[in-house]
Amino acid sequence: MTSDLTSHQLTAARAAIPIDYHPIEGPTQQLLVSGEQLHANACLYCGTEQQLHTAGHAYTHSSGLAWVVVACAAHLALGRAEVRAAALPVEAVEPPLG
């Protein structure tokens, strides 16, 4: 007996896995990911399998196991830019005297 479902369809039908994502830079995020993303075979954000780089660690809610996760070059750069922007000092504005 053969299945009419492709591997992609079978993978897409699996339930999303809730994780606590601890990026290399920036605050912890709660995400839902696929098994491919959890096993560092796809970008944590977009699912691409191209130009992947270590992006931090993920902890699963069900077991608490730690996994190394990856992000594509575009999302890794975007995340680091957001962290740098958030870290920029903000000048205090004094209220007018009156």
- What 3-state class would DSSP assign to 95? coil
Residue 86 has pLDDT above 50, yes or no: no
**70 within a domain of the structure (yes/no):** yes
Domain that holds residue 31: 7-86
pLDDT digits (tens, 9 = 90+) for 1-58: 445 555 555 555 578 999 999 998 888 989 999 999 999 999 998 999 999 999 999 9
Q: What angle do CA 9, 71, 56 make, to 5 degrees?
A: 120
**75 within a domain of the structure (yes/no):** yes
Residue 87 has pLDDT above 80, yes or no: no
Domain count, the chain: 1
Q: Residue 61 carries which side chain, given as an amino acid letter? A: H
> Phi-psi region for residue 40, left (φ > 0), alpha (ψ -120 to 50) or beta?
left
**41 within a domain of the structure (yes/no):** yes
Residue 91 has pLDDT above 60, yes or no: no
- Element containing residue 27 per DSSP (H, E): none
- Specify burial of residue 70 (Cβ count, 10 A radius: 0-12, 13-18, 19+): buried
